[in-house]
Amino acid sequence: MAEGLNVAVVGATGAVGNMMIKVLEERSFPVSSIKLLASKRSAGKKLSFRGKAVDVQELTEDSFDGMDLALFSAGASVSRKFAPIAASRGCVVVDNSSAFRMDPNVPLVVPEVNPKALKNHKNIIANPNCSTIQMVVALKPLHDRVGIKRIVVTTFQAVSGTGQKAIVELEEQVKAWFQGKPIEKKVYPHQILFNCLPHIGSFLDNGFTEEEMKMLNETRKIFDDPSIEVCATTVRVPVFYGHSESVNVELKGPLSVEEVRELLESAEGVRMVDNPSAAQYPLPIDAAGSDLTFVGRIRKDPSVENGIVMWIVADNIRKGAATNAVQIAEILLRENLLKK
C-alpha cells in the first residue's frame, strides 16, 4: 500500500462498517495499514481491502496502539467504552453512533455544512444521524442566505438504517410472501413488508421517538443555531437503501422557488432532480450507491409566509454514514488536523 495512515474500522462486519471499508477504497484514502475490528464472535472472518483478504480481529483496549485514525460503527455502548481509549492513545476517532453527538466538547460534523467545527476537536468527532445529514446538506444554502425559523419533516427510512439483520428480515419476508409461507418478524415489532412503521428508536415521555428528537437537537448543533424549531416524524418503510424526507421549512426571509433552485443547483454535495411534469424527482432506488443528496419537488408552501417544501433523498449507508465519516477524515488530513 502507498504511504499513509494506520486506520482501524470498528464494527467492520456490519452494514456501515463494510461500507466504510469500501468507501476508503473507492476514494483512494491514504491507508498504509488497515485493522478491521469487531466482536469476539466475528473475529477470524476475512474481509477484502484493495484486493487483499484481511482478518477481522477482536476489539480490545489494545487495538488502537499505533493507529492514526479509527472509524467507529459498532453502536453507542461500544463507542462509549472504546472511543475514549483510542483517543487517549493519540488515535483520532470518527464515531457513527449517537454516543457523543450532543457532547459539547465533541464536534458534530457534516463536511458540506460545518467543516470549521473540526478545528478544535479532542480526538473524537461525531457523525450525525443519517436522516439529519441529508436534510442539513439540502438546507444549508437556504440557512446561509436568509436563515431558518422552523422545519417540519417526515422521513421514510430504509431498513438498512437498522442494520444488517433488518436487511435480512425484509429479504426473508419478501421470500416468505412469494412462497405463501408465514411472515416472521424478529427485528421490528410489526411486519415491515408492505408496511410503514412510525417508530424509529424508543418512545420518549413527550411522545416523540429518539430518532425524532435527534433531528431537532443535531440540526441545532450543526447549524450552531438553537433558535431553529424542528418537528419530526420518522417512519420505517420497506425499502432496502435510501432515506426519503418530506421537508417543510419556514424561512426567516423570502426566497422564491427559482432562487431556491438556483442555490441548490450550485450547492456542494447536492443534485437537483426537479421536473415533476416528466416524472423526474428524487427516488431512493436512484440515490442508492451515490454519495450525493438529491433534492426535488420544490414548491412554495401557501399556508405560511416564507414557506418552502421539498423532497430530499440520499443513500443512508453511504452519505448518511460511511461516506460522511471518510469525508471528515479527508478534511482532517487536508487541514493537518490529523496527526500522522
Residue 3: φ, ψ to 5°: -60, 135
**Model pLDDT for residues 204-243, shown as the tens digit of each residue:** 999 999 999 999 999 999 999 999 999 999 999 999 999 9
Q: Which of 231, 243, 238, 254 lies closest to 307 in space, CA to CA?
A: 254
Taking residues 299-307, what's their average pLDDT? Answer: 98
Query: Above 50 in pLDDT, residue 269?
Result: yes
Identify the bridge partners of residue 295 per DSSP, sorted by sequence position: 272, 312
Tally of CB atoms within 10 A around 15: 23
Joined grid coordinates for residue 255: 426566497
Joined grid coordinates for residue 249: 421549512
Q: Which of 332, 312, 334, 314 lies closest to 322 in space, CA to CA?
A: 314
CA gap 66, 166 in Å, rounded: 35
Q: Which of 190, 201, 194 lies closest to 161 in space, CA to CA?
A: 201
pLDDT of res. 36: 98
Query: Above 60 in pLDDT, residue 332?
Result: yes
Joined grid coordinates for residue 91: 488515535
* Paired sense of beta strands 148-157 and 243-251, if any: antiparallel
Joined grid coordinates for residue 63: 487495538
Q: Which of 118, 83, 120, 119 lies closest to 100 in space, CA to CA?
A: 83
pLDDT of res. 123: 98
**Model pLDDT for residues 176-207, shown as the tens digit of each residue:** 999 999 999 999 999 999 999 999 999 999 99
Mean pLDDT of the chain: 97
DSSP character for 219?
H
E runs forming strands in the chain: 5-10, 31-38, 46-49, 52-58, 69-72, 92-95, 124-126, 148-157, 229-236, 243-251, 270-272, 293-300, 307-314
Query: Above 60 in pLDDT, residue 317?
Result: yes
pLDDT of res. 338: 86
**Model pLDDT for residues 273-301, shown as the tens digit of each residue:** 999 999 999 999 999 999 999 999 999 99
Stated pTM of the model: 0.97
**Model pLDDT for residues 25-62, shown as the tens digit of each residue:** 999 999 999 999 999 999 999 999 999 999 999 999 99
| 143-to-111, 226, 260, 263, 270 alpha-carbon distances in Å | 16, 13, 11, 11, 15
| 250-to-146, 150, 256, 266 alpha-carbon distances in Å | 10, 5, 13, 21
Query: Above 60 in pLDDT, residue 17?
Result: yes
Structure confidence at residue 1 as a pLDDT band (50, 70, 90): very low
Identify the bridge partners of residue 31 per DSSP, sorted by sequence position: 5
Alpha helices in the chain (DSSP H): 15-26, 76-88, 130-145, 164-179, 210-223, 257-265, 284-287, 323-334
Q: Grid cell 428480515 — which residue? A: 169
* Pair 306, 255: CB distance under 8 Å: yes
pLDDT of res. 339: 67
Q: b/e per residue, 73-104, with b = 16+ CB within 10 A?
A: bbbbebbeebbebbbebebbbbbbbbbbbeee
pLDDT of res. 237: 98
Structure confidence at residue 2 as a pLDDT band (50, 70, 90): very low
Q: Which of 85, 70, 75, 220 lies closest to 143 in space, CA to CA?
A: 220
The structural domains of the chain, ordered by start, are 5-128+321-334 (3.40.50.720), 132-315 (3.30.360.10)
Report the percent of the chain where pLDDT is more than 70: 99
Catalytically annotated residues: 130, 243
Query: Above 70 in pLDDT, residue 340?
Result: no
Give me Rg for the CA atoms of the chain: 20
**In this structure, what is the dihedral angle of CA atoms 24, 26, 31, 36, given to the nearest 10 degrees?**
50
Q: Grid cell 462486519 — which residue? A: 13
**Model pLDDT for residues 89-138, shown as the tens digit of each residue:** 999 999 999 999 999 999 999 999 999 999 989 999 999 999 999 999 99
